[in-house]
């Protein structure tokens, strides 16, 4: 596989002359991946890059995260238009990453033609772009139009993954995203953490995502799932959970899930065995109390695929018998319960220990390889 990468070089590429040395000896028809993150591109350099991209024929991954640091807001739309238009007709493209670029809602239009007309890509990464509700609506509507065009042609959507966290999407764009997700119906992974979405928007997302029966990974950390006065939202997520038989990972940390002894219906549904393949359940920092831990402990046998349960920073007593029951069940199956800061520190220490223990083995392997090649041993 041929990869062109300038990732992390910290280059300031303003003109064609700045970028051409990095492109001139590369055959674009052999490039499958391109990674430009951690550099900053001006308009003229982006136009030269776009010409290179137009010549690619087997490109699968286009990683342009963090490529506009320090650029004027007037530069970004022109540069982004050149790059996105060059990728619009690439049927080989699987993944586009435009994360960590401060587009803001004013700079989203250049992405619309790509999102609407490239109907073969599968993974879209737009994390930390400052989209806001208005920018979110524009992009969601572009994806909706893409789904409608595919349906009109009798084709199934290719979209599998949408990552759009830290974008201040709020309730104002949630219903548009939900409509787009439902129209595609093919989503397997949705990550939308830290977006200020409240229960109205969360309810809309549940309705939309319930039309995606192959969902496997949902991350809505640090949005608001408070259930007070939101019966329709509770029902929507209860139905949604039962619509996702393939679900393996659910992250609802920092979501205001419970308080005052109330057990969220979402937890009751999970504990009833609604998602038999659930492997990872993250519920940190939700003010969950003993009653919730009791429900989880009572249903742990139905959660027979669960291997990692994260409950740190909830209202747990140190000697809670339900937590001990959960920890014991998970340990027997080779899994793990994280219920305190100590558990998290212990896990980090174990990971560091395993990494250190693996180093000698790797070095020995490299030494053996060097010997076999007749080279000097690696010190």
Mean pLDDT of 100-114: 93
Supply the pLDDT for residue 41. Answer: 98
- The three-class DSSP label of residue 194 is coil
Three-state DSSP at 109 gives helix
Per-residue pLDDT band at 158 (split at 50, 70, 90): very high
Q: Name which of 6, 73, 11, 83 is nearest 47 in CA terms.
A: 83
Structure tokens at 22: 């990095």
Please give the average per-residue pLDDT across 82-90, as a whole number. 98
Whose CA is closest to 212, among 240, 234, 175? 240
Q: How far apart are the first and last CA of the chain?
A: 30
pLDDT score for 375: 47
Beta strands (DSSP E) in 53-194 are 61-63, 95-97, 123-125, 161-163, 189-191
Q: Quote the pLDDT of residue 106.
A: 83
Average pLDDT of the residues of the chain: 91
Give the containing element (helix H, strand E) for 76. helix 76-87
Dump pLDDT digits (tens) for 11-54: 999 999 999 999 999 999 999 999 999 999 999 999 999 999 99
Task: Find out whether 53 and 77 touch, Cβ atoms under 8 Å.
Answer: no
Residue 262: predicted pLDDT: 76
| Cα–Cα–Cα angle for 215, 227, 208, rounded to 5 degrees | 30
For residue 157, what are the contacts with CB-CB under 8 A and spacing of at least 6? 119, 146, 147, 150, 183, 184, 185, 186
SS3 category, 205: helix
**pLDDT confidence bin for 361, thresholds 50/70/90:** low
Is residue 358 pLDDT above 70, yes or no?
Answer: no
Q: Is residue 268 scored above 90 in pLDDT?
A: yes
Instruction: Determine whether domain 1-102 maps to CATH 3.80.10.10.
Output: yes
What is the C-alpha to C-alpha distance for residues 299 and 78, in angstroms, rounded to an integer?
55
What is the CA 17 to chain-centroid distance, rounded?
36
- 196 or 371, higher pLDDT: 196
Taking residues 247-270, report their average pLDDT.
89
pTM of the entire predicted model: 0.90
Q: Of 102-111, 154-163, 237-246, 293-302, which range is least confident?
A: 102-111
Question: What tokens appear for 315 in the block?
Answer: 């209202």
Res 230 pLDDT > 80: no
Instruction: Return the pLDDT at 1.
Output: 74
**113-135: buried (b, 16+ CB within 10 Å) or exposed (e) per residue?**
ebbbebbebbbbbbbbbebbbeb
The C-alpha atoms of residue 378 and residue 32 are separated, in whole angstroms, by: 32
CA pair distance 140, 135, nearest whole angstrom: 9
């Amino acid at each position: 596989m041929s990869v062109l990468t300038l990732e992390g070089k910290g280059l300031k590429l303003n003109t064609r002359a700045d970028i051409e040395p990095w492109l001139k000896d590369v055959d674009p028809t052999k490039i499958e991946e391109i990674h430009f993150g951690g550099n900053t591109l001006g308009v003229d350099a982006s136009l030269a890059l776009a010409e290179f991209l137009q010549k690619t024929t087997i490109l699968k991954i286009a990683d342009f995260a963090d490529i506009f640091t320090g650029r004027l807001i007037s530069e970004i739309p022109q540069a982004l238009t050149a790059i996105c238009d060059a990728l619009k007709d690439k049927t080989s493209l699987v993944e586009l990453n435009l994360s960590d670029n401060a587009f803001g809602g004013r700079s989203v239009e250049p992405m619309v033609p790509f999102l609407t007309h490239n109907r073969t890509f599968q993974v879209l990464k737009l994390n930390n772009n400052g989209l806001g509700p208005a920018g979110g609506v524009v992009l969601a509507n572009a994806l909706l139009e893409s789904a409608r065009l595919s349906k009109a042609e009798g084709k199934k959507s290719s979209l599998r993954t949408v990552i759009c966290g830290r974008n201040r999407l709020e309730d104002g764009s949630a219903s548009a995203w939900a409509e787009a997700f439902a129209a595609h119906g093919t989503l397997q992974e949705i990550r939308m953490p830290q977006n200020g979405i409240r229960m109205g928007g969360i309810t809309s997302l549940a309705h939309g995502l319930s039309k995606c029966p192959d969902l496997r990974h949902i991350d809505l950390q640090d949005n608001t799932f408070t259930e007070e006065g939101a019966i329709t939202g509770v029902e929507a997520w209860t139905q949604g959970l039962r619509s996702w038989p393939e679900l393996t990972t659910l992250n609802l940390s920092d979501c205001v899930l419970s308080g005052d002894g109330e057990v969220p219906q979402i937890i009751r549904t999970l504990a009833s065995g609604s998602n038999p393949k659930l492997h990872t359940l993250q519920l940190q920092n939700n003010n969950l109390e003993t009653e919730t831990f009791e429900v989880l402990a009572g249903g742990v046998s139905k959660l027979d695929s669960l291997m990692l349960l994260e409950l740190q920073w909830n209202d747990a007593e140190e000697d809670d018998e339900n937590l001990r029951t959960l920890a014991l069940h998970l340990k027997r199956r080779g899994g793990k319960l994280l219920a305190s800061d100590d558990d998290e520190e212990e896990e980090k220490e174990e990971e560091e220990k395993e990494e250190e223990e693996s180093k000698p083995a790797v070095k020995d392997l490299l030494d053996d390889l060097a010997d076999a090649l007749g080279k000097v041993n690696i010190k």
